[in-house]
């Protein structure tokens, strides 16, 4: 059975190699202590060894030079207890550092963001202060991190995406974190589309590596979020290749065509919503049934793990409760139902890793 996927679904032999390449996006810093503990226990029981979590600057350093590590500490204690590796997204601006009125306005000085990134690596990375303070834990340090979340989209890089400014931010962050840990894998956004508020769409990764032709020599990998633009499309759909899950291959090939380094790719968000399933929903916010999304998720894992050997890891969006409101697209992207029970997609991930 192919669960509605347009294309072959060849299931791989089960192995620990699958576990090394599959993770979940989480929102652990925004849950209660009890829920956080319950969620990580369940994630561990399912054989999932990796999570991705936003580490937002404005919440950690509200006043310049004054750090509140408590929420990240709480996640890292539990993650270490279960042997789960965290991929942090170093994201958004602190209010005091932003170039505009919101956290989505990049910092005026990239060096301030770079310092934030280096402080995180100093605390939670290999040999970090956090591990000295928690000698009872077996260290599971952060060894990789993303620079910003979706800087190609105007909602997350205000007022509009700027490849040159992002390149400067990435360079500053790379210098800072590699001064702390030369082996740290710093990831930059390698997605295809560049979407300003005007709605026009150009090619992000080409523009980025044209604006800074040697940026690939100072970072360690590319991340992307290859959601199907027509949200109900399967991971095998090729209807509009640039806007399908298949654009992972397009972006990878484009980097090689530009004669850039063959760096690893990380799919740090992918998933399908179970909201807005009616045919009247707009194409960009049209969900699928729980059964269909389960097949789509497994197909996405198969392509990332088996077909695209250059993909180091894929994170499924997202381990959290859905709202259960039929018309709520993003609110129904969670892998749990409103009552906390797992959706079929989460069970399929579990079976894939078994």
CATH number for the domain spanning 175: value is 3.20.20.80
Averaged pLDDT, 261-282: 93
Is 1 inside a domain boundary? no
Bridge partners of 314, per DSSP, are: 22, 267
For the cut 60, the answer to whether the pLDDT of residue 10 exceeds it is no
Is 9 inside a domain boundary? no
Domain count, the chain: 1
For residues 335 and 343, give the distance between their C-alpha atoms in angstroms, rounded to a whole number: 6
Longest Cα–Cα distance in the chain: 56
Averaged pLDDT, 77-94: 98
pTM confidence score: 0.94
For residues 74 and 11, give the distance between their C-alpha atoms in angstroms, rounded to a whole number: 37
For the cut 60, the answer to whether the pLDDT of residue 4 exceeds it is no
- The per-residue pLDDT for range 100-142, each reduced to its tens digit, is 999 999 999 999 999 999 999 999 999 999 999 999 999 999 9
Range of the domain at 201: 16-353
Is 319 inside a domain boundary? yes
Contact 293, 274 (CB under 8 A): yes
Is 7 inside a domain boundary? no
* pLDDT reported for residue 279: 79
Measured in whole angstroms, the distance separating CA 184 from the mean position of its chain's CA atoms is: 17
- The per-residue pLDDT for range 144-186, each reduced to its tens digit, is 999 999 999 999 999 999 999 999 999 999 999 999 999 999 9
Q: What mean pLDDT is reported for the chain?
A: 93
Is 8 inside a domain boundary? no
Three-state SS string across 236-276, please? Answer: CCCCCHHHCCCHHHHHHHHHHHCCCCCCCEEEEEECCCCCC
Contact 268, 52 (CB under 8 A): yes
């Amino acid at each position: 059975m192919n669960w509605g996927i347009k294309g072959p679904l060849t299931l791989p032999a089960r192995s620990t190699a699958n576990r090394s390449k599959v993770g979940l996006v989480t929102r652990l810093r925004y849950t209660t202590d009890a829920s956080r503990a319950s969620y990580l226990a369940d994630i561990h029981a399912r054989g999932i060894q990796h999570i991705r979590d936003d580490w937002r600057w404005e919440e950690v350093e509200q006043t310049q030079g004054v750090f509140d590590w408590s929420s990240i500490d709480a996640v890292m204690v539990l993650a270490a207890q279960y042997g789960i590796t965290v991929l942090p997204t170093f994201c958004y601006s602190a209010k005091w550092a932003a170039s505009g009125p919101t956290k989505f306005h990049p910092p005026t000085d990239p060096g301030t963001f770079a310092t934030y990134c280096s402080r995180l690596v100093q605390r939670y990375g290999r040999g970090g202060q956090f591990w000295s303070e928690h000698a009872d834990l077996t260290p599971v340090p952060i060894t990789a991190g993303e620079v910003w979340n979706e800087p190609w989209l105007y909602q997350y890089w205000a007022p509009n995406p700027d490849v040159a400014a992002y390149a400067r931010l990435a360079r500053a962050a790379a210098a800072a974190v590699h001064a702390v840990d030369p082996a740290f894998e710093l990831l930059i956004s390698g997605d295809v589309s560049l979407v300003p508020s005007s709605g026009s769409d150009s090619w992000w990764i080409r523009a980025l590596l044209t604006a800074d032709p040697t940026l690939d020599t100072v970072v360690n990998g590319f991340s992307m979020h290859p959601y199907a633009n027509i949200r109900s499309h399967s991971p095998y759909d090729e209807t509009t290749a640039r806007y399908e899950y298949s654009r992972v291959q397009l972006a990878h090939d484009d980097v090689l065509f530009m004669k850039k380094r063959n760096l690893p790719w990380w799919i740090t968000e992918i998933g399908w919503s179970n909201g807005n399933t009616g045919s009247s929903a707009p194409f960009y916010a049209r969900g699928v049934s729980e059964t269909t999304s389960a097949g789509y998720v497994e197909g996405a894992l198969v392509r990332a793990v088996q077909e695209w050997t250059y993909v180091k890891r894929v994170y499924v969006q997202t381990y959290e409760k859905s709202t259960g409101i039929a018309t709520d697209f993003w609110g129904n992207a969670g892998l749990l139902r409103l009552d906390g029970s797992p959706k079929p997609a989460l069970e399929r991930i579990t079976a894939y890793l078994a």
